[in-house]
């Protein structure tokens, strides 16, 4: 089986941390498990860390550290080759840049309106669409 090359938007990771029974948590677990491969850039890791630490989210420090360490251990760090300006939110360009450099199959986000539906060979999809494709038996 070929590895799924994935990039995961921060909103999916936050939802996974806040709701262990959510589709976003399932997406995160799949992204951490072979044959899937999660791709991140340093800019994405920094955003993950910054957003997970926001006090209003009330994500325990230990859980934040566990998630970030798991991501560092199980993901592939990519250095994007190009700066791109293609998203509705300039901060989201980092995800397209990473997906471009990783030649990702999917960029998974809860904010589809911020992204083009496709970027080169990468399809931008919601967590529900991803689970429906990768593990439909897990959908409620």
For domain 5-135, give the fold. Answer: Rossmann fold (3.40.50)
Domain ranges of the chain: 5-135
| pLDDT computed for residue 2 by the predictor | 67
CA distances from 35 to 3, 30, 100 (A): 4, 9, 20
Alpha-helix runs per DSSP H in 32-120: 42-52, 61-74, 93-102
Nearest alpha carbon to residue 91 among 15, 11, 1: 11
Q: Which residues of the chain have pLDDT under 50?
A: none
């Amino acid at each position: 089986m070929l590895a799924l090359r994935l990039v995961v938007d921060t909103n999916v990771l936050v939802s996974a941390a806040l709701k262990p029974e959510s589709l976003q948590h399932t997406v995160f677990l799949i992204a951490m498990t072979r044959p899937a491969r999660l791709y991140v850039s340093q800019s994405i890791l920094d955003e993950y860390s910054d957003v997970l630490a926001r006090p209003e989210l009330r994500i325990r420090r230990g859980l934040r550290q566990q998630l970030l360490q798991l991501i560092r251990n199980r993901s592939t760090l990519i250095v994007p080759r190009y700066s791109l300006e293609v998203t509705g939110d300039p901060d989201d360009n980092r995800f397209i840049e990473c997906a471009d450099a990783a030649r990702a199959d999917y960029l998974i986000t809860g904010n589809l309106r911020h992204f083009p539906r496709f970027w080169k060979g990468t399809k931008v999809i919601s967590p529900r669409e991803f689970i429906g494709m990768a593990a439909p038996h897990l959908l409620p």
